[in-house]
Amino acid sequence: MKTLSIDIETYSDQPLNKCGVYRYVESPEFEILLFSYSADAGPVKVVDLACGEQIPPDVLAALEDDSVIKWAFNASFERICLSQYLKYPTGNYLEPSSWRCSMVWAATMGLPLSLEGVGAVLGLEKQKLTEGKELIKYFCQPCAPTKANGQRTRNLPRHAPDKWLAFKKYNIRDVETEMAIQDRLAKYPVLESVWDEYHIDQEINDRGVGLDMELARQAILMDGRSRAELTQAMKDLTALENPNSVQQMRNWLSLNGLETETLGKKAVAEMLKTAPPELHRALTLRQQLAKSSVKKYQAMETAVCADGRARGMFQFYGANRTGRWAGRIIQMQNLPQNHLVDLAEARGLVRCGDFEAVELLYEDVPDTLSQLIRTAFVPQDGRKFIVADFSAIEARVIAWLAGEEWRQQVFAEGKDIYCASASQMFGVPVEKHGVNGHLRQKGKIAELALGYGGSVGALKAMGALEMGLSEDELQPLVQAWRDANPFITQLWWDVDRAAMDAVRYRYQTETHGITFTYKSGMLFITLPSGRRLAYVKPKIGENQFGGECITYEGVGSTKKWERLNSYGPKFVENIVQATARDILCYAMTTLRHCSIVMHIHDEVVIEADRRMSMDAVCEQMGRTPPWAEGLQLRADGYETDFYKKD
């Protein structure tokens, strides 16, 4: 046997979408119901485990044989469930190196991350059967006890033999659909280096990260008490039945002379600047109540495994436009920042449940709990965290790609890019906390907002007006940044032309070491690393201003498959972020044996022996990949006994 394509159907009383597969399989109720497989692309067979059938010995042996390649759509689900079926203890799972995931393959082609979605876009003859959702709900999840069903809490095959027969057909069809996807994508193989990155990702997900569950539990209790007290204070102040109601609150503010269309975060912050004392108090309470400080802690409770670790937090190729990761379950990618100077002390007070002290010392309890979320991630077994991240990675990559020499020089000399940018824009020396220091803020906001073709709107979205810039300053700021960065501006339009020509004339184009190829209804952008970005069914269309642009099919902001448009600066954003991702992957490969437990954007977190050197980790991480000669990289780090934003 060389290959094995697999799809399974399972039962557990745990909610898979909330707890993740690692916790899902730990339930005593967990079992595999159906196991469909195809050996070496042969006919699909189904093993009815729920009705007493057994997986053939040669197939069982293949699961643990690293020379047999196992395929599945979202393969981590099958791998972890089968590890449990084979009675692997918590924290031990089938070795990922011989597994391949057809969902990852589809993602590398810019396709949806669902089997149903991929089948529909590819127009497969054998599509995923649509009745599956209803059958999964019936057989794979607990059911509500009723008089009609004899008060049972689970549906078994004998309760609906016809549905069970349909479920087996559905299970077989999933394997057929997965194999059809592989056939259709066969001429676009995934690079071996990307499969290697996938296996590193699976190792990190399997390893998991330690959680301080005592801190999480106390935070949840504290949040409950805080919310009750804040709600009561709001009721006492406003006499409203439900002060959390936007409509009731808006009406109350209106009666007290303050009209507002929205009670969004920005709007409330703006009103607080001028509100009279009574309204100021109500708006402050409203702001505190709106803090969703407890959801991440609740997600930790739902996801934590028996050994105190959370697993499966990272979705490989989750952002298929760039190949970057997406967060899952606890969502590490959007953790609140921490600015408390005495973080350890605040953490200690929450951990021992001292509500009065937290309220007295920090006033805003929800905000304090929110700032402590990161600190719930902790090293275990007497180890420490080494946190290392790339300094200004996107700014470095775009300067390198564009050949913007003055920026390269700034990075080579280890200077502040915001000061240097302001200096270049305004033609005067700028030093942080020194000469013309006030201009650094303008340099910073321009750097953050304008690198990918952004204009006045991008500056506003980045908070330029809130930072004290006037409306009149914005357009000159845009022009000053573009004048200071002519090679980056040129890069946008060179990329625009190269992509447009590749789609229009159906041939290969190249600029700045990036290749654009039109092939079989796809636009491929080959990055310096050799990895390709894929855009489905590209054509020349019209943008909102009546000019030409490239349109292609993909998952848009509505989460639906639709036609999207792109142009030079947006393609450059994809290219830069994808290249930054490849640099992170290179660093993760070099640090593979250092127990990486988390990675967030351009940062890695290592659970390290106390003797491990942070400087050595940063030096290793800051090494330039062989394909990025001349790129100025730097990694900075710190050591800590709990995760935080340094």
Higher pLDDT, 571 or 286: 571
Give the contacts of 364 (CB within 8 A, at least 6 positions apart): 288
Judge whether residue 355 has pLDDT over 90: yes
Average of per-residue pLDDT values in the chain: 94
Residue 522, token pair as written in the block = 């796809």
Confidence of residue 326 (pLDDT cuts 50, 70, 90): very high
The per-residue pLDDT for 275 is 87
Fold of 3-190: Nucleotidyltransferase; domain 5 (3.30.420)
- What pLDDT is recorded for position 266? 81
Residue-range domain boundaries for the chain: 3-190, 207-378, 382-396+491-646, 405-484
Considering only CA atoms, which of 604, 580, 592 is closest in space to residue 388? Answer: 604
Residue 124 has pLDDT above 90, yes or no: no
pLDDT-derived band at 401 (thresholds 50, 70, 90) equals very high
Residues 301-318, mean pLDDT to the nearest whole number: 97
pLDDT at 291 over 80: no
In this model, does residue 636 exceed pLDDT 80?
Answer: yes
Q: Quick one: average pLDDT of 288-317?
A: 92
Flag whether pLDDT at 184 surpasses 90.
yes
Residues making up the chain, counted from first to last: 646
What is the per-residue pLDDT for 557?
Answer: 83
> Poorest-confidence range of 3-12, 301-310, 543-552?
543-552
Distance, in Å, from the CA atom of 206 to the CA atom of 203, rounded to the nearest integer, reads: 5
How is residue 469 written in tokens? 């810039």
Q: Which residues have CB under 8 Å from 213's CB, separation 6+?
A: 300, 301, 304, 308
C-beta of residue 310 within 8 angstroms of C-beta of residue 332: no
Other C-beta atoms closer than 10 Å to the C-beta of 224 total 11
Share of the chain above pLDDT 90, in %: 77
Q: What is the CATH number of domain 382-396+491-646?
A: 3.30.70
Cβ atoms within 10 Å, residue 558: 7
What is the per-residue pLDDT for 466?
81
